[in-house]
Structure 1
Amino acid sequence: MSSDYRNIYQIAREASGFTQEKSAELIDISVESLRAYEGGKRTPPDKIVIKMIEIYDARYLAYQHLKTSAEVGQTYLPTIELKDLPTAILRLLKEVNDFITCKDELINITCDGVISEDEKERWNLILKELEDVERAILTIKFVK
């Protein structure tokens, strides 16, 4: 690992303006433990990450922690990129418009309560549009 490696815990701490010493004191852990978390040698337990989120005022850290440290997060949470508010809003509007174009087809496919084999391919494309909307919403939720 290079000496300029910075992981999610270190980035959140630095963005909040805390030193390792002050953070460790506020989180109620040793500086050595914090260094191990920030150096990628150990993954902090959820209760420590919760304290980091609260102290650093970094809600996005919760998402990043689940996405990087838990198999369920790696498997099921969409990857999102932090953006500025105007860009995030424009992305959401674009994704909502894309979804609206397939809204009538969604109704047609699902109105009988069954997705037939013939409808599955189109259904999967509609789900992809919904996932794009979900990702755009999450981006807005974590905008700085």
Structure 2
Amino acid sequence: MARKATKAADNIYYKARIEAAATNDKLNSREGAAEIIGIDRTRLARIELDSICAYPEEVLMMADIYNSPELENYFCCEQCPIGKYTVPQLKVLGIDRATIQVLASLKNIDDVRRDLLDITSDGVITEDEKPKLKSIIKTLDEISINSQELKLCIQKNLK
């Protein structure tokens, strides 16, 4: 078994590779992982040491090979110049916790639906309706994040 890379110990790509090595011994070494991913060993080392940023194609390969769909979210919200401002960071939760969060965020959906219809039915958003609309957006964001976290959990457990 390969020794642990202390400089890369906090790197998400390294952690995902080591976790995946529990089911694929070839992933214990950067050489083996790089061969499977289809990149140079030194490039993988530099990605795991945060010296360079992975290309999106490499992240997709690692996410698939390591069974770590959370790598895609990490790349988008932490390393992509556009995603940093638009993609929320997701947590990898247990399926029970993720399900409860989705259901909890949906509990007020009837109120949101009613308020949204009231606000938008006349085609004009007035100043006094804007605070309520901001509250609706906050609720919709919560539902979106919770459903994405559940989807991430399910993807991780399907493989």
TM-score (norm 2): 0.82
Q: 2:146 aligns with which of 136, 139, 143?
A: 136
Give me the CA root mean square deviation. Answer: 1.6
Could you say which structure has the greater relative contact order, defined with CA pairs below 8 angstroms and 6 or more residues apart?
A: 1
Residues 2-61 of structure 1 show CA distances to partners (whole Å, capped at 9, x for unaligned) of 736321211221121112221111122222111100010100111222221222222221
Pair 1:10 & 2:14 matched: yes
The 1:32–1:82 alpha-carbon spacing in structure 2 relative to 1, beyond 3 Å, is same
Give the % identical residues: 26
- Rounded Cα–Cα distance in structure 2 between residues aligned with 1:88 and 1:53: 20
- Rounded Cα–Cα distance in structure 1 between residues aligned with 2:126 and 2:87: 27
- Rounded Cα–Cα distance in structure 2 between residues aligned with 1:39 and 1:92: 35
Paired residue for 2:59? 49
Contact 2:7 2:49 in 1 (8 A): no
Query: Gaps (5+ residues) in structure 2?
Result: 1-5, 22-26
Residues 65-104 of structure 1 show CA distances to partners (whole Å, capped at 9, x for unaligned) of 1111112211111222111011111110110013333321
Pair 1:32 & 2:42 matched: yes
- Rounded Cα–Cα distance in structure 1 between residues aligned with 2:89 and 2:58: 23
**Secondary structure at 2:107 match in 1:** helix
Aligned residue pair count: 143
The 1:77–1:87 alpha-carbon spacing in structure 2 relative to 1, beyond 3 Å, is same
TM-score (norm 1): 0.90
Query: Gaps (5+ residues) in structure 1?
Result: none
